[in-house]
Amino acid sequence: MYFAKSMMTAAVIAVSAGAVHAAENPMVGGAEMFAIKNIVENAVNSADHTTLVAAVQAAGLAETLSGAGPFTVFAPTNDAFGRLEAGAVDNLLKPENKEQLQQVLTCHVVSDTVMGDALKSLVDDNEGHHPLATLGGCMLDVTYADDGRILLTDENGNGAFVEIADVAQSNGVIHVIDGVMLPKQ
């Protein structure tokens, strides 16, 4: 009887610990993000990332971002894409601009899992700035904003704040950002 009760207690603790761990992943775009799902599987459920998902599909990158990774994706929101020049998104989504779209999107992807604390440590260890190379060949400058948020700046001087950090994925991590990073123009 004691053994059975101990096993039951251990099972309840294990299930509770798993539930606590799952609850730590933030909600994004009104959807629960599951650490057991990959980047694409989670992103398609975020109401704030429909433009990004459409762009990833149009660029033919859904299979890549569903792969093993690990990847860090700085995921621009719909509002971020909406702040681009009028017609820019529609133009990028045209089939003849697929390569340009791929480069724009991969300027938001790092080949590794880089959590928010690691980004902060890189900035702290490098006198307030850290260059971060992306898969698209872009260099992002990682710094802090005055309010302590992580700020990414592309090679054109466009900035984006990390609004939601550390959204764990089975193949990496997503950091939700409020701007679009562009290749050097």
Task: Name residues whose C-beta falls within 8 Å of residue 30's C-beta, 6 or more positions apart in sequence.
Answer: 46, 47, 48
Nearest CA-CA partner of 63 in 32, 35, 39: 39
pLDDT digits (tens, 9 = 90+) for 161-184: 999 989 888 898 999 999 999 999
Q: What region does 136 belong to: left with phi over 0, alpha with psi -120 to 50, or beta?
A: alpha
Question: What is the chain's Cα-based Rg?
Answer: 19
pLDDT digits (tens, 9 = 90+) for 33-45: 878 888 898 888 8
| Distance (Å) of CA 142 to CA 105, 167, 176 | 18, 18, 15
Give me the pLDDT at residue 25, please: 80
Helix (H, G, I), strand (E, B) or coil at 20: helix
CATH 2.30.180.10 fits 2-177, yes or no: yes
pTM here is 0.84
Task: Name residues whose C-beta falls within 8 Å of residue 89's C-beta, 6 or more positions apart in sequence.
Answer: 51, 55, 81
State which residues of the chain have pLDDT below 50. Answer: 1-23
Tell me the pairing of strands 27-28 and 31-32: antiparallel
Give me the pLDDT at residue 10, please: 35
Give me the pLDDT at residue 9, please: 32
